[in-house]
Structures are given as C-alpha cells and as structure tokens.
Chain A
Amino acid sequence: MASSTRRTVITGLGVLSPIGQGREAYWQGLQTGRSGVRPLRAFDVASLPTKIGGEVQDFDAKKFIGKDHRKNLRVMARTIQLAVCAAQLALDDAAIDKAKLDPTRFGVEFGSGLIATDLDELAEAATVSTNCAPGHVDLEKWGDLGLARIQPLWMLKYLPNMLACHVSIIHNAQGPSNTITESEVAGLLALGEARRIIKRDVSDFFLVGGADSRFNPLSMVRHCLFQPLSRRNDAPDKAVRPFDRDRDGTVIGEGAGVLAVEELGHAQQRGARIYAELVGFGSAFDKGRTGAGIARAIRAALKDAGIGPEDIDHVNAHGLASVQSDIWEARGLQEVFGGAAQPMPVWAPKSYYGNLGAAGGLTELCGSVLAQQHGQVPVTLNYENPDPACPLAIVAGSAAAVRKPYFVKVSFTDLGQCAAVVCRKWE
C-alpha cells in the first residue's frame, strides 16, 4: 500500500451551473431551492422529444478570461470555454500567487466527453459535396472542394483533451495533464488520480475539473436517441425527480465544476483557506448493475479514509432520476449504509439541474463542500412520493443540519463504472 503521508486538501472552488455562476451564486441557488431546468433557449428544439434542460444562461466567457487569452476563445467549443472559465474561478478562489507556484509541480486533470461540431462550420463543405440524398456524400467532391471550405483549426475546437490543454497553457501548468473520458464518473476519477499524483510527490497543486455542454443540435439528437430523458416539457422545474416514485428520466444539463487541490503543507505554508480534505477514494465496475460495484467503490473510499459508514454525515448521490438507475443506486447505498441505526441522509443535487455529463460529479461535490461550510445540506427537489424500490432517507422538504465532518460523493455511469470520494471538513 502507499506509504506516502502527503495529504490533499481543497482550497478553491469554481462552478458554472444552471443555478448560478460562481461559488456564492451556486450556493444561493441550492439554498433557495429553485430549479435550473427550463425550456431550452440555445437553439430551436421544436423537433426534439425533450425540450427542456439545465442551461448556464447568459454565460459570457469574455467576463472570465484575461485579455491575453481572449483570442483563443474562437478555437474553444462551449464545453472548453466553460472549463477554462471555471478553472479561473477556482484559481481566484484559491487566492494563490501564481508567481510563487512552481510550474513544474502544477498539474491539470479534467473529465470531459465527446464535443459535437457546430453544424455551421461544416455547412459550406457539406453543400458542395452532396446532392441532399440522406446518407450520401460524394467524397471526391468533399476532397476537391469541401475540405478547403472548413477552418484549418476546426478539429482542435472539439478534442476532449483541449479542456486541460487550454487550462495548462493559460496558467503555465507544466506538471501532469490528463483527460478522463469516462462519462459521468470522469470528474471523480480525475480527482482521485490527482490526489494519487500529489501523494506520490510529483505535484503540489492541481486544477481538477469536469465540464460538458451538449446543447447543440447534433449532441441533443444523439442523446435523445439513447438516454432516458424526461418528457415533462410542460413542467421543467418538476422534471428531474431523483428517487421519487413518479420520476421519468433525467434531463440534460451543462456546466463546469473545478477544484483547486493541493498538498496540505503547501496550502498551510501559503496560509490558504482550506475547505476540506480529500481523505478517501474508491472506484469499481458494477458488473450486471446489481449495486455491488457501487457498494465496493464506497467501501474502498471509506477504508481509504480510515472511517466507517457511521461516520458519514450525508451521501451526495448520483441520483440520475431515471427509473432503473435510482433503484440500482439505492441497492448499492443500502448495502453499505442499510445496517445503521440512524438512516443515512441522501441528497440528490441533479434535482436542481439535471445530468451535467462529465461536469456532474465535481459540480455536485462542490455542493456538499459548501453544505459543510454553511452547516446545512440542501433539499432534494421534487421528492414528493417515496418509491418503495428506493428505500432511502432523502433530504427533502427542509434542509438538514450538518452533524458530522465527513460526506461521501457517489458517481457512476449507465454501464457500470463507479467511483466514490470521501471529504472531511477542515477544522
């Protein structure tokens, strides 16, 4: 087992979410209990079966990015812009003097997913290469005439690793740079990996994040084809109902959550404000989606933290709000926490903004870090009728007081990749 005693703490939070931009606005959104799910405005969604989602409204990257780097915004898809801006927020929140930071000990890890092309950028090439028959492109015409009608840097705008690349370039982070592309579990996996890198004394400081935006026609078509999405178009704020009996699927959201994390001594030396310590991490694959993998990931994280289930204040759940996924998660949570004398409070942040994809895990985790700071766990929205198939103590109706210093954040994918992180409030 690892012999290192280097500890990792969270010293900065950067959130861009459908319920608020910036740490304080995000907490405000969670506290007021208002949903960020609304009719979509990004483009005309008249043809889509799901016409609602969690948008980061009025997001303007230029407000976050220094003049020197603004010209690069044109080679950044919206996902990348969200990542870069949330990273700036996290760094500002950490109040670090970059001049005193060793660039070779400064790493970047992001969770990200597929980024779809803007259709307009291929339009000229497309029109000269087709006769409009579905599924037919004349590749000779594409090669002769079409190719030259696309911007030279087109591909770079959409590569998943460009989130971390741009962040490392803007902040001169020359340490390890990785991009985890494991759907909704990507953010937690990135965080666990950054902690291991700090532990083994390769880095002292990390920006770790997740970002995702799928509000463009191609992505939305694709997700409507394969994700179980809610059809509650007439009641957007009621649509995402994790663990509620009447849930009918999630909605797509967009956003970014970025943490500044650093080695404890490094943080203390510079007098940093410390939110929490990352004390445990575990990951697993849940074969057959029985909940056993979810339980294994949580147990590994608890063991890593050196604590038991009874030490946990609340579970920050994946809570997707699809019929099957919530049952599956409830089984996993029951396996770990079901034996306790007191039922374990479970909070499902997706009820506020839906499924943020690769941005979800860390944006949600930030919610619990803030809950610890403010001493209360926000409510789960739309939890009105318990589902007997999900026998959990959902925090709903009114906020729950924080009673213990530890929380656990759980994320998993539809296919079975699971991860859990345990954080301890810094005191």
Chain B
Amino acid sequence: MRRRVVITGMGAVTPLGHSVELLYRNQLEAKSGVGPISLFNASRFPTKIAGQVKDFDLGKFVGNVERWADSGVNSKFSAAAGAQALADAGLLDNSQVDRTRIGVYLGCGEGIQDFHHLVSLIAQSWRPERRLVDVVNFTKNGLYHFHPGREYEQELHTPTAHLADHFDLQGPNYNCLTACAASSQAIGEAAELIRHGDADMMLSGGAHSMIHPLGVTGFNLLTALSTSNEPPSKASRPFDLKRDGFVLGEGAGMLVLEELEHAKKRKAHIHAELTGYGSTADAFRITDSHPDGRGAIACISQAIKDSGLPTSAIGYINAHGTSTQVNDRVESLAIKHVFGDGAYQVPVSSSKSMLGHLIAAAGAVELITCVMAIHHGVLPPTINYENPDPECDLDYIPNQAREKKIDHALSNSFGFGGQNISLIASRFID
C-alpha cells in the first residue's frame, strides 16, 4: 500500500489577510481584496486594479529579516507563510524530528525586475539612427546601476534556499514554475516525494507577485486582464456573463505535507489528507486552452482516479475560475464532462472572485481554502455573480457562503501554456 500523505500545517499571506484564518473568514464574508494599484503608478495602464497584500511586515513572522533584505516579495511572502505553516505543524525549532527528512518544494514565481533601471538604460542606449540598442553602453552602465544583491535574488532558486537554510530543512529542495499551476503542481509532486520515500515532511506551496509594471504590461498586452476598473471589487467575476479577464493578486500559500505514520507518531494535528493528484498537458497552443477541455478533463479524472473515490464523493470544487471568457467556459465544460449529471449537484466556487489571481501561488491558497471548508463545513462563495452565462450553468455558490458538510474537495489549477493540475483534499479518517 502506498504511503498516505496528510496536511499538518498551513500558512498564508493574501490580499484578504496574513493568516489562514483571515483568508478563510474573509472569503466567507464575501469580501473582495481587490483595489486600486498602489504599488506603482498604474493610472494610465489599461488595468489599474489588483488584489494587493496590505500592510505586510516580514518581521512579524521571522526573526532574521536581514536575510531577505535584497529579496523580492515572492521570497518574503514565502518566508512569512512558511513560518506560519511550520509553526502550525510544530516543526519550528523542533530538534526531535530528523531535519534531513524535511524537504521544500515550491511553485514560487520569479523576483521582480529592476524595471526603472532596465527601461531607462535601454532608452539611454538606444541609437535611433541605427535602430538598435548600443549594447556596449548598456552593459557598461548596467554594471554600474544594477544592484548585485537584488539582481541575484531574482534568480528562481533563491526563495527555496532561504527557507531551507533559515528553517533548517535539509531534505529534497525543488522549485517549479508552471505559470498558474505552479504551486498546485509543487504540492502534488511534493506528496509524491513523500510517497516514494525521499522525505517524510515537505514544506510546499507557492508565492508570487506580478503586480509590477512589466507584469501588468505583459498581461495587458495579452488582453488577459480585466479592464473594468470601477469599482475594483466588481472586476473579478468568474462564471458571470460579463466577465472580461482576470485580476492580478499576490501572496503566498504554504502547507506542511507529512507521511501519515510519521505525523501520528509525533502526535501532530492533522488538518486533512491529500488523496488525489492529477497532472496533464493540453499540448494545444501557448495562448489558449483546448476548446473542448481535453487536458482539464483528463486531469480532473486522473486526480479522482488517484484518490480511489467515486466521482460522487466530491462535495465541493474550488475552481480555477479566473474570470476570463475561455477559462470559465472550458472549466465548466470539463466539470460537466467528468461529473455527468452529478455536475449540477456539486457546488463550485472561485476564490479568485475575492482574491484575484495569485498566479504561481494561486493553487496553494485555494487548496488551503478547501481544507478549511472541509473542517468548518462552510463553502466560500463566488462573488460578483450577477448575470448567468448559458455556457456556465453550474451551481457557483453565488455571492453568499453556504453551509454544507463535505468530506472531499477538488481544487483545479490550469497554467498558461497548458499545464493542468487537480488536487483532492479529504477529511482525515484513520
């Protein structure tokens, strides 16, 4: 029999609060974390709104903040949420457990580029007569103006190394970056590392912020973002007929995954069990998901098969639900394909209606939401659901949280470029 993997710790830094409790409670109250962008002057961008993390102070979560002095917010958010998750699991400064058996697997996004220096140096090096950038000038000035430490901290392996080093986690150390599927994929593969015997505990999840000039520029150019700037709280409207794109969010979600017997032996509190994992690729286009939901259907089916549960056991779906036209239609289609007539009985909601889209970090935060829903028996709503879309005709838990006891929840994450991940969290029964 395969090793069972349970969740023994959780932590979150999100636009709706810097703890798992606040994340969940504010979703139940149907609050929106979306507001005007204040991190930079976005007043002339097509999109001027985002779900920002407010009043974040890393010092409230870790002692040695200097370590992260040159780091981007991705790394800082991961440290804060990681500290919460490890404390929750009783693994902070716990020398009773073998630290070489605790690993890290994140789906953490990249650090933020030094936009102002990059762009001003390009302009200063532009030679209009030759229509090219003078690279000798650019490199000469770049060596002078770019900050070595901050440039280094943008590298993709730095956040996981900080966590391993600071919290003494000497097991396997991974980071994956598969766009919007990253942290879900990290959690799925971290669980597999435990099942395979490579580790007994894994700190897993993700952290990301793309709320910066190049991030908003990139997504605006792809016309992926909502431009319904007024009022900000109404912009993210998954499954609603008038949805017009996603809203960027930022933050981190982190979980401690642990092999069941190991957790029992040290009497750890078990929040839930991770029972199902599916991973597929659309293999279709870099810009669009497959119109029939081919990859999504295979992914959800694979996760359910992995869990060994009947499809009817799934009591709630936390959808990818980005609020783009295509995602919400195709995801609804995929759910109907997998669940058949039962699709209309299973409540579906999108945390992104309240948080915005945390990109690489989205899946982890949404899985945490599922675990809380299993524990408390109240399902978070999809807010801003006002105008039914005939192609999205499922029960989206419109606008108000709903009491319902559930034992198994499915969380979907579909990444730009075609990576699909589904996870299933289940009430722990020994």
Contacts and interface: CB of A to CB of B under 8 A. Distances in A.
Contacts of A44: 135-136
A409 interface: no
A218 B122 CA distance: 10
A147 B122 contact: no
Interface in A1-22: 1-3
A139 B41 contact: yes
Interface stretch (B11-19, B123-131, B266-274): B123-131
Contacts of A120: 132-133
Contacts of A199: 196
Interface string A160-174: 111011101101111
Contact of A225 (B148, B161, B175): B148
Given A415-B161, A416-B165, A176 B281 contact: yes
Contact of B284 (A133, A169, A416): A169
Interface string A181-196: 1110110010001001
A131 B145 CA distance: 16
B178 interface: yes
Residue of B123, B136, B168 with most chain A CB atoms under a 10 A cut-off = B123
A75 B286 contact: yes
Interface centre among A104, A181, A193, A200, by most chain B C-beta atoms within 10 angstroms, is: A181
B173 A283 contact: yes
A251 B285 CA distance: 36
B22 interface: no
Interface residues of B, number: 99
Interface stretch (B42-50, B231-239, B361-369): B42-50
Contacts of B173: 182, 283-285, 416-417
A178 interface: yes
Contacts of A285: 103-104, 161, 164-165, 169-173
Nearest to A413: B157
A155 B41 CA distance: 21
Contacts of A107: 281
B222 A153 contact: yes
A391 B386 CA distance: 71
Interface in A286-345: 286-287, 293, 296, 300
Interface string A134-171: 11110111111001001111111001111011101101
A401 interface: no
Contacts of B428: none
B282 interface: yes
Contacts of B281: 107-108, 164-165, 168, 173-177
Nearest to A140: B44
B68 interface: no
Contacts of B128: 127
Interface string B204-232: 00000000010001111111000000000
B279 interface: yes
B100 interface: yes
A135 B117 contact: yes
A45 interface: yes
Contacts of B78: none
A81 B96 CA distance: 49
A162 B286 contact: yes
Contact of B151 (A45, A143, A181, A222): A222
Contact of A113 (B155, B165, B168, B282): B155
Contacts of A181: 156-157, 175-177
A178 B135 contact: no
A75 B172 CA distance: 34
A65 interface: no
A300 B217 contact: no
Given A135-B117, A217-B135, A416-B164, 7 more contacts: A123-B133, A126-B126, A134-B120, A161-B179, A162-B417, A221-B142, A415-B161
14 contacts: A1-B3, A47-B136, A113-B156, A126-B122, A129-B123, A137-B116, A137-B213, A140-B44, A159-B416, A165-B419, A173-B283, A180-B175, A199-B196, A202-B279
